[in-house]
Amino acid sequence: MASRSFSEEDLSCPVCCDIFINPVLLSCSHSFCSSCIQRVWENNTLKECPVCRTTSSNDRTPVNLALRNLCESFQQERREKSGSGVCRDHNEKLKLFCLDDQQPVCVVCRDSRKHTNHRFSPLDEAVADKKEILKASLERLQEELKISVNREQKLCKTAEDIKFHAQGTETQIKDEFEELHQFLHDEEAARITALREEEKKRNQRMKKKIEETSKQISSLTITIRDIEEQMKAEDASFLQSPISSRSRPQSNCGDHFHRSPDQPEAQCLTEDAGQCW
Q: Domains of the chain by range and CATH?
A: 1-81 (3.30.40.10), 85-175 (3.30.160.60)
The per-residue pLDDT string of the chain (277 residues; one tens digit each, 9 = 90 and over) reads 444 456 777 888 988 888 898 899 888 888 999 888 888 888 777 888 888 888 877 667 888 988 888 888 887 777 666 655 778 778 788 888 898 888 888 888 888 888 889 999 998 888 888 889 889 998 999 999 999 999 999 999 999 999 999 999 999 999 999 999 999 999 999 999 999 999 999 999 999 999 999 999 999 999 999 888 888 876 666 566 665 544 454 544 444 444 444 444 444 433 444 444 4
**What confidence score (pLDDT) does residue 75 get?**
79
Residue type, 274: G
Distance CA 133, CA 128 (A): 9
Q: Write phi, then psi, for 121 (nearest 5 degrees).
A: -140, 160
DSSP readout, 102-114? TEEE-HHHHHSGG
Q: How far is CA 187 from the centre of its chain?
A: 41
Distance CA 191, CA 193 (A): 5
Q: Report how far apart, in Å, the C-alpha atoms of 50 and of each of 31, 258, 264 are.
A: 10, 139, 145
Q: Dihedral through CA 102, CA 106, CA 107, CA 111, nearest 10? A: -60
**What confidence score (pLDDT) does residue 236 get?**
61
Burial tier of 150 (Cβ tally within 10 Å: 0-12, 13-18, 19+):
exposed
pTM for the full model?
A: 0.36
Distance CA 177, CA 249 (A): 63
Closest-CA residue to 272 (of 229, 209, 225): 209
b/e sequence 36-73, b meaning 16+ C-beta within 10 Å? bbeeebeeeeebbbbeeeeebeeeebeebeebbebbee
Distance CA 12, CA 195 (A): 107
Q: Report how far apart, in Å, the C-alpha atoms of 56 and of each of 11, 52, 138, 194, 227 are.
A: 22, 11, 55, 110, 147
Q: Taking the chain, what is the end-to-end CA distance rounded to the nearest angstrom?
A: 130
Residue type, 144: E
The helix or strand, by DSSP H or E, that contains position 257, with its residue range, turns out to be strand 257-260
Contact between 89 and 8 (Cβ < 8 Å): yes
Q: CB under 8 Å to 75, separation ≥6 — which residues? A: 19
Burial tier of 14 (Cβ tally within 10 Å: 0-12, 13-18, 19+):
middle
**What confidence score (pLDDT) does residue 240 get?**
61
Residue type, 173: I
Q: Is 61 helix (H, G, I), strand (E, B) or coil?
A: coil
Q: Dihedral through CA 246, CA 247, CA 252, CA 256, nearest 10? A: -160
Count of residues making up the chain: 277
**What confidence score (pLDDT) does residue 275 get?**
45
